[in-house]
Amino acid sequence: MKNELIEKAYAIAKERYAAVGVDTDAALEQLRNIPISLHCWQADDVTGFENRGGDLTGGIQATGNYPGKARNIDELRADILKARSYIPGTHRLNLHEIYGEFGDEQVDRDQVEPRHFAGWIAWAKEHGLKLDFNSTSFSHPKSGDLSLSNPDPAIRRFWIEHTKRCRAIAEEMGKAQGDPCIMNVWVHDGSKDQTVNRMEYRRLLKESLDEIFATKYDHMKDCIESKVFGIGLESYTVGSNDFYIGYGASRGKIVTLDTGHFHPTESVADKLSSLLLFTPEVMLHVSRPVRWDSDHVTIMNDETLDLMKEIVRCGALDKVHIGLDYFDASINRIGAYVIGTRATQKCLLQALLEPLAKLREYEAAGKGFERLALLEEAKSLPWNAVWDKFCAECGVPVGEAYIAEIQQYERDVTSKRG
């Protein structure tokens, strides 16, 4: 799209929004400073670079067999940089522990060290990215159905040590980048069929987490993530939402809300205001569940839009961290990154452009008709002209122009991967 058309459309949009009390320039400046944490595992279907290899286990799976996935660290990094070139703003990169640089060294997960991520730290600094991190409890001979809640002391000790070491790695990442590394703990622990030991497994998980978090760090922040169920673990999840809300509120930990980890009719947006009253911060993993936690690519749907609006309405842009968590192996993986991140940003922009002051004025005066009317009219305000302006200012393709460029990258690069 030509720059003069973008500028003309933006000028009209700016005037239209001003009429309802919204400063579009201020909204763009805010959006520019809200990072999305890109998940490294979209580029290779959660394979990682651990020397053991093998299939995904632990209640998760990636579906599809689209050609051209990243096969090594160099390809993964190239794909991430290519995706970022089509995404406006400044963003972060979220790593799982299995993406360390192990080379030919046999490194089990209870032996991982910061040195295995020194290359990532240097690469991220070179490219202006800040890192977040995750422990990895799945796809390992000792994963089974239970890790941190395993009644076997040896198995439990293995995963406690792994998670402790991941926290130490996150601390080094945060120290190197001068900004806290957000370290997420999610374990798949659960049961395929009925259990009569719910309390015992949760007691063990609580004790394991207490030991893991006993060491205090200054350059990383801890998150704990729940789930409803996993594939093969449908009947019982040890780390449920209730468990982690209780743990997070009592221990001052960040609770992670994954939009795919709840029942289909639950509103994740509704949970934010409650959590923010009792936990220091909230971490979001944004995906798109279809009937179950299927981790489809995020799109600009009502659920994501409601979630972003609630962050802004709560005045919590400084307390809510936003990351992506989907792994669609059925479409072009670079395209999946771009669609999902831009969709999340579009929802954020619409949230920032909401005429909130006027809406609250109506609500405070008990003017329900006026509030609902403005909420409806705001849906058709020209936010897309503001979005185009944002993309143009950030030097990334406006509108659908990125499609052809990603197709070219596929022809030139990813299609040649065996």
Residue type for position 186: W
Does residue 171 lie within any of the structural domains?
yes
Does residue 285 lie within any of the structural domains?
yes
Does residue 402 lie within any of the structural domains?
no
Active-site annotation holds for 219: no
Does residue 389 lie within any of the structural domains?
no
Residues 44, 171, 222, 225: which is the catalytic one?
225
What is the SS3 assignment for 131?
strand
For residue 210, what are the contacts with CB-CB under 8 A and spacing of at least 6? 251
Q: Per the structure block, which two tokens stand in for 137? A: 């409890």
Short-list 209, 271, 213, CA closest to 241: 271
Identify the CATH number of the domain in which residue 147 sits. 3.20.20.150
Does residue 14 lie within any of the structural domains?
no
Active-site annotation holds for 263: no
pLDDT tens profile 131-153: 999 999 999 999 999 999 999 99
Does residue 203 lie within any of the structural domains?
yes
Residues 41, 120, 159, 186: which is the catalytic one?
186
Q: Quick one: how far is CA 351 from the chain centroid?
A: 18
Does residue 61 lie within any of the structural domains?
yes
Does residue 187 lie within any of the structural domains?
yes
Strands (E), 84-199: 92-96, 130-134, 181-185, 190-191
Q: What are phi and psi of 324, to 5 degrees?
A: -105, 150
Residues 189, 325, 354, 388: which is the catalytic one?
325
Q: Per the structure block, which two tokens stand in for 342? A: 């831009």
Active-site annotation holds for 310: no
Domain that holds residue 334: 35-355
Overall number of domains in the chain: 1
Active-site annotation holds for 44: no
Tens digit of pLDDT at every position of the chain (418 positions)? 689 999 999 999 999 999 999 999 999 999 999 999 999 999 998 889 886 556 767 667 777 789 999 999 999 999 999 999 999 999 999 999 999 999 888 999 999 999 999 999 999 999 999 999 999 999 999 999 999 999 999 999 999 999 999 999 999 999 999 999 999 999 999 999 999 999 999 999 999 999 999 999 999 999 999 998 888 888 899 999 999 999 999 999 999 999 998 988 899 999 999 999 999 999 999 999 998 878 899 999 999 999 999 999 999 999 999 999 998 999 999 999 999 999 999 999 999 999 999 999 999 999 999 999 999 999 999 999 999 999 999 999 999 999 999 999 999 999 999 7
Strands (E), 226-380: 236-237, 254-258, 282-286, 288-290, 292-296, 320-324
The three state secondary structure string of 361-381 is HHHHCCCHHHHHHHHHHHCCC
Active-site annotation holds for 162: no
Residues 258, 303, 354, 388: which is the catalytic one?
258
CA dist 291 and 318 (Å) reads: 32
Residues 140, 285, 346, 389: which is the catalytic one?
285
Residues 82, 261, 271, 296: which is the catalytic one?
261
Active-site annotation holds for 383: no
To the question of pTM greater than 0.85 for the whole model, the response is yes
Active-site annotation holds for 227: yes
Active-site annotation holds for 266: no
Active-site annotation holds for 292: no
Neighbour-count burial of 65, counting CB atoms closer than 10 A to its CB (0-12 exposed, 13-18 middle, 19+ buried): exposed
With b meaning 16 or more CB within 10 Å and e meaning fewer, what string describes 261-299? bbeeeeebbebbeebbeebebbbbbbbbbeeebebbbbe
Residues 295, 303, 310, 328: which is the catalytic one?
295
